[in-house]
Structure 1
Amino acid sequence: MSQQGQFSLLKHRRFLPYFVTQALGAFNDNLFKNALLLFITFGGLAAQEDAALYTNLAAGLFILPFFLFSPIAGQIADSREKSQLIRWIKLLEVFIMGVAAIALFLDSVILLLSLLFLMGTQSAFFGPVKFALLPQQLKEEELVGGNALVEMGTFLAILAGTITAGLMFDLEAAKYWIAAGVIFFAVTGYLSSRAIPEAPANDANLVMNWNPFSELKNTLRQAKQKRSVFLSILAISWFWFLGASYLTQFPNFARDYLGGNTQIVTLLLTLFSLGVAAGSLICERLSGHKIELGIVPIGSIGMSIFGIDMYFASQHIHVLTDMTAMMFIQEEANWRLMFDIAMVSAFGGIFVVPLQALIQNRSDEKSRAQVIAANNVMNSLFMVASAAISILLLTVLNVSLPEYFLILGVINIFVAAYVYMQVPEFVLRFFIWILTHTMYRVKDHDLDKIPDDGPAVLVCNHVSYVDALIIAGCHHRPIRFVMDRSISEMKGLKTFFKWAKTIPICSPKADADVYETAFKRIKEELAEGELVCIFPEGKLTKSGEINEFKAGIERIIAETPVPVIPMGLEGLWGSVFSHKDGYALTKRPKRFWSKVQLKAGDAVAPENVSAVDLQDKVQALVSELEETNPAVNKPA
């Protein structure tokens, strides 16, 4: 897939039927929900004085099942084969839509609202199995691309369902068209689900807890077991808070500030949906086909910049009463606002896709669907909170809508800062991403030889002060680096190394306590199943050639027998962070970017580890890489 991009997934049965099924589900949900709202508001389904009540009730009834049933749905998704479970859920949709078609002709608003509750229930059961299935069907390097396509498909389906509801409502015999439509798309979704390949249960022996309230507590507790996963859930929920805030207010914004034509509402929804779709697709390229947390801060920065600018852009728009969408687009003064809306949502896509992939990747396999269910609960809670806060700000405090958008952009800065302070890995990988996409072009080879879980020691040659950052940016697992104390305490890099939980070391003659503490920490990290990387030379090379490997690696493996993976790093010799032609950071760089390569070798069993043998293996890897890189990067 890395060669063809994420769209190549659409050629495979392991993804295409699933993608079509979930997109049709999102489309049909919104077709039915928005058609119902139109019949309530404009179709005489309810008395005019009751329209607002029923509209708000409809929104609540659709979201309530996510609170009530997501924890149970997560258990079911973990304990059942997923393709069959999806087919059962889609059959339920066919039944609900069949009854909905009848209810439309009966003009029964109570029955239609009850069916909307059932549609929310069906969606609540579909959510956990939908996202828990992806890690089973996709390779790890496909996970970001797969999530990006799902995010794109979901938002485009929501947009298409919303627009289709409006188009059908304007037809003569609208009830016939909408009734036929919801049944047709439900049946089509079921038929596509029949092609989804089998996906075994994560935990077939799971004992079900049918109490939704106690299980909700258990589900949230499971999500909190891994701090990075739980904070990612909170961050995703904040994305839905912002999304719900913008989407809910667009109709009022169009009415009060943009000329009042309903076409403008559709235009804003289209810009927002296309933005999320575009941002989601960009993720795969920015992340280099892996779960790259470094682009998450990019997403949050963009959301704040363009969210805040929506306030200023709205001061300069040019509108007329009953302005059509085309007239609005043709006014150059309005382009800035349209661009801001598209960029807020695009950066939102960049923000949310890696977080979704992280949850799927780092959650315990046996309870993955339950963790995703917790994510759905939190998403729903934040969406309800967005409604409550918007009522407080807009109704009670009389904040204007442009000011409301400004407040959202500013609050987003503080929310993002809180998340990044709690999980410094996001910021660390952000700076690594910047480094590896500006000064360095990094290409890795055979890093799949590093185990996906469990302890191991990585050994690598030491060329520059940024070796650790380069290696950390190439692999998805957190790595604990053992490095010379003088390097770990360098100004400008000390904070990053602290965030990365590096293990400072020095010679026993310089400080015996630091030396012994380093070995103690290495043992503790390996005992906890972490990856530890050491540079056995103990110092940066001054010649470009590999220095003698010290025997410390033999002591580490003697105390904690784990596999050792040799690695070769090439291309950094001559950079400003290396000792070529003088001490690092003391001379003018001869070039501002380099092609860097990192290659992993076969794992060495603990009983075969020796410093001399590992030096030979690392040297062989470096020599292989030097044959493919320009001579300017080789030792002179």
Structure 2
Amino acid sequence: MLTSTHLLRRRRFLPLFVTQLFNAFNDNLYKTTMVLFVVYAVYSDPATEASFSGLASGLFILPFFILSALAGQLADMRDKAKIIRTVKLCEIGLMMIGATGLYMAWQGILVHTVAIPLLLLALFLTGVQSTFLGPIKYAILPQHLKKDEVLAGTGLVEAGTYIAILMGTILAGPLAVDYTGWAAIGIIVISCIGYLVSRQVPPAPPMGEVEKLDWHILRASVKLVRDTMHNAEVYYAILAISFFWTIGAVLFIQFPPLAKNTIMASPEVASLFLVVFSVGVAIGSVAVNALLRGRVSARYSPVSVIAMGVFVVAFYVVAKLWEADQPSRLLSVGEFVAWPMANVLLLCLLGISVAGGMFVVPLYAFLTTRVSPDKASRTIAANNIVNSGAMVVGSLVAMGLSAAGVPITEQILLCAAMCLVSAWLAKRLIAAENEAAEAVATVRV
């Protein structure tokens, strides 16, 4: 904790931390407001709502799959701080597109023909923005932090990201239907503030030989993943992270329609679900850093993701019981909290997210500490390619299940099954970690 406090007082970390905070806050304010508005104010069919939620998630994830190789090359071959400032400047323009779509949809102007396409375009561009920032926010840490500060820095970035998601989600709930115009103004203002803060990030020039950029996206992506996966620790960390975010993608797709059609809750309650999830991941991020005491290790990851799976099953059971005694109208936050088993439902959700945070944070630290600093951004980019591919598949599966008539509640069990696969991958990572430690010890002897 002292290390964390120390980092938050240093310019080598604080501006990056705050920039990422504003970025995550603004992205989530826009995404959540947009999805909740369309689910609650435009559509009235559960299958259509679930399909739109899946489409929105897929469009946001798709740029990670297409552009991560180029983003990783840029981050390793150019000054990372300059890239951050350029991307944050572009954010102002894309949020203007999103704000236009929000305002038109709110006013009922060409909702299906213009407003919703604008909303989805802005969401796609937000994904492009995050694709280029993604490799930097972790890869820049070993460049600015000491070796024993990297895990703490990673945990702070992860926890800060989820706190920002929390704040954006809290605000999105009440804005989503009645005050969407204020959300349209807010996302533009916040993007401007984020750009100003990003100008304070210290320079982070390339650390290795500057190579020529490969603009052939498919070839670069295949080469990037192939070159990264030869390290067993990085290989299993990437696969485990991918399964985790696939689980997260499916859960986030399910939350809005589940809240509306199963829990019979207002947009504010749907927002509350996402809030609890974000708080839990932040708690898990800090907790695992305290347990590991700065050492990069996956030793707690298998038990964490098994616990996550148990909480997912518990969440499913409570949702089924809720479904059997469903309210006849949408509940406000106060009415929801007063409803029988509401606290149990929220505790299950909190358990899922705390365990998830404890599982995934150490794995990100593997990606930046098990490779040379000049390749850290490309390693994160390779991770993003595999993650996004897995998440797109998860989104398509969720959309397919909804189109086939599988109830949202039943789809939750898919996440529990994926937790078992993640636990197996984490066990393989621990074995690779031990083998690497033994090899180092042998060389020293």
- Distance in 2 (alpha carbons) for counterparts of 1:241 and 1:391: 13
Instruction: Confirm or deny that 1:230 pairs with 2:235.
Output: yes
Distance 1:405 1:288, change over 3 A: same
Larger Rg: 1
Distance 1:403 1:61, change over 3 A: closer
Distance 1:51 1:9, change over 3 A: same
Residue 286 of structure 1 is matched in structure 2 by 291
Which segment is superposed worse, 411-420 or 198-207?
Answer: 411-420
Q: 1:162 aligns with which of 164, 169, 183?
A: 169
Alpha-carbon shift at residue 10 of structure 1 (Å): 1.5
Residue 80 of structure 1 is matched in structure 2 by 78
1:557-572 equivalences in 2 (<5 Å): none
State the one-letter code of the partner of 1:345: S
- Distance in 1 (alpha carbons) for counterparts of 2:315 and 2:206: 46
State the one-letter code of the partner of 1:134: L
Alpha-carbon shift at residue 105 of structure 1 (Å): 6.0
- Distance in 1 (alpha carbons) for counterparts of 2:304 and 2:280: 12
Q: 1:125 aligns with which of 129, 132, 143?
A: 132
Task: Give deviations 1:288-334, integer Å, cap 9, x for gaps.
Answer: 12212211123112112212222333344465333333233234533
State the one-letter code of the partner of 2:391: M
**Which sections of structure 2, spanning at least 5 residues, go unmatched?**
none
User: Residues 93 and 122 of structure 1 are in contact (CA less than 8 Å); yes or no, is this contact kept in structure 2?
Assistant: yes
Alignment length (residue pairs)? 430
Alpha-carbon shift at residue 134 of structure 1 (Å): 1.2
Q: 2:342 aligns with which of 334, 337, 342?
A: 334
TM-score by length of 2: 0.87
Alpha-carbon shift at residue 74 of structure 1 (Å): 0.4
State the one-letter code of the partner of 1:84: K
State the one-letter code of the partner of 1:251: P
State the one-letter code of the partner of 1:158: I
Residue 198 of structure 1 is matched in structure 2 by 203
User: Residues 310 and 402 of structure 1 are in contact (CA less than 8 Å); yes or no, is this contact kept in structure 2?
Assistant: no
State the one-letter code of the partner of 2:361: V
State the one-letter code of the partner of 1:335: N
Instruction: Confirm or deny that 1:410 pairs with 2:434.
Output: no
Residue 154 of structure 2 is matched in structure 1 by 147
Task: Give deviations 1:335-386, integer Å, cap 9, x for gaps.
Answer: 3322111111100000000000011111232221111111111221121111
1:3-22 equivalences in 2 (<5 Å): 4-22=2-20
State the one-letter code of the partner of 1:154: T
Instruction: Confirm or deny that 1:479 pairs with 2:389.
Output: no
- Distance in 2 (alpha carbons) for counterparts of 1:422 and 1:54: 36
Q: Comparing both chains, which one has the higher relative contact order based on Cα–Cα distances under 8 Å and sequence gaps of 6 or more?
A: 2
Q: Which has the higher strand share?
A: 1
Instruction: Confirm or deny that 1:311 pairs with 2:316.
Output: yes
- Distance in 2 (alpha carbons) for counterparts of 1:257 and 1:71: 40
Instruction: Confirm or deny that 1:375 pairs with 2:383.
Output: yes
State the one-letter code of the partner of 2:89: L
1:414-433 equivalences in 2 (<5 Å): 414-421=421-428, 424-425=431-432
User: Residues 298 and 350 of structure 1 are in contact (CA less than 8 Å); yes or no, is this contact kept in structure 2?
Assistant: no
State the one-letter code of the partner of 2:203: E
- Distance in 2 (alpha carbons) for counterparts of 1:87 and 1:128: 14
Task: Give deviations 1:99-158, integer Å, cap 9, x for gaps.
Answer: 544566676434444333322212111111122101112222222222222112222322
Task: Give deviations 1:396-451, integer Å, cap 9, x for gaps.
Answer: 3x55444433342234224422452465246x6xxxxxxxxxxxxxxxxxxxxxxx
Residue 194 of structure 2 is matched in structure 1 by 189
**Which sections of structure 1, spanning at least 5 residues, go unmatched?**
429-476, 481-524, 533-561, 565-636
Residue 97 of structure 1 is matched in structure 2 by 95
- Distance in 2 (alpha carbons) for counterparts of 1:50 and 1:28: 26
Distance 1:315 1:5, change over 3 A: farther
TM-score by length of 1: 0.62
State the one-letter code of the partner of 2:360: V
- Distance in 2 (alpha carbons) for counterparts of 1:44 and 1:259: 17
Q: Which has the higher helix share?
A: 2
What is the SS of the residue equivalent to 2:230?
Answer: coil
State the one-letter code of the partner of 2:10: H
Instruction: Confirm or deny that 1:387 pairs with 2:395.
Output: yes
Residue 59 of structure 2 is matched in structure 1 by 61
Q: 1:299 aligns with which of 282, 297, 304?
A: 304
State the one-letter code of the partner of 2:140: L
